[in-house]
Amino acid sequence: MRRSLEVWKMGTVNYLEALKLQEKLASDRKALKITDTLLSLQHSPTYTLGKRQTVHNLLIPDSELKAMGAELHYTQRGGDITFHGPHQAILYPIVSLRDIGLGARKYVEKLELTMIELASIYGVKAQVGQRCETGVWVEDRKIGAIGVRISSGITSHGLAFNMDPDLSYFKHIVPCGIADKGVTSLKKEADVELPSEEVIQEQLISCFVRIFGYNDVVLKDKSFL
């Protein structure tokens, strides 16, 4: 069975704009108006909280975030507080789990494998976390975060892989509610010179396409949106 995917390469997008776009695309996907769609982008500095979380894992007053040039937003995804910012590769899949025959757990596992495979391209051994540790890790250092929403079998939100973000932003939160472990990046862990971030983001897309088994892929430059 052939599976089609439309990939939107969007550059840097404001978090709220990306959120509104995901909501519209998820509604369109549910109504069968569009095929599965993958948004590839970066955000300006933004902290986000999952739907059942509070700011207790934010280590500075939220009033200070603006002075740092960062925003704080509450979301309907799963997971705890996390950071999104420049030099972080983000994928937001808007896909029908029913059409690709996946349950929620298997879907998350494939997102994890997508980041693990990307890290392996550069000789970095990443793996899933221990029990209750979401995302992807290099030993005890988190390199990739996952937070998803599934509504009526349609996914939104997704994954964030640290290429070379300013890791000091993570010092102001307890990432994903895990207090005793650190955060890292591909730049810090790889022993080889990295290509441009555009190349890395394209490789992340390729890993996603391969792991999820899409046959027909259409790339669209949506950076003008």
Lowest-pLDDT range of 81-90, 94-103, 175-184, 214-223: 175-184
Cα-based angle 144, 149, 155 (whole degrees, multiple of 5): 95
CATH superfamily of 4-224: Bira Bifunctional Protein; Domain 2 (3.30.930.10)
- Per the CB < 8 A criterion, the answer to whether 161 and 118 are in contact is yes
Does the annotation place 159 within a ligand binding site? yes
Q: Which pLDDT value is given to residue 216?
A: 94
* Of the ranges 77-91, 101-115, 174-188, the best mean pLDDT one: 101-115
C-alpha 224/C-alpha 189 separation (Å) is: 33
Reported as a pLDDT band with limits 50, 70 and 90, residue 162 is: very high
Q: Which pLDDT value is given to residue 71?
A: 78
Does the annotation place 160 within a ligand binding site? yes
Q: Which two tokens stand for residue 217?
A: 């892929």
Is residue 214 over pLDDT 70?
yes
Measured torsion, CA atoms of residues 156, 161, 162, 165, in degrees rounded to the nearest 10? -30
Residue-range domain boundaries for the chain: 4-224
C-alpha 163/C-alpha 127 separation (Å) is: 16
Catalytic residue chosen out of the listed positions 176, 178, 205, 207: 176
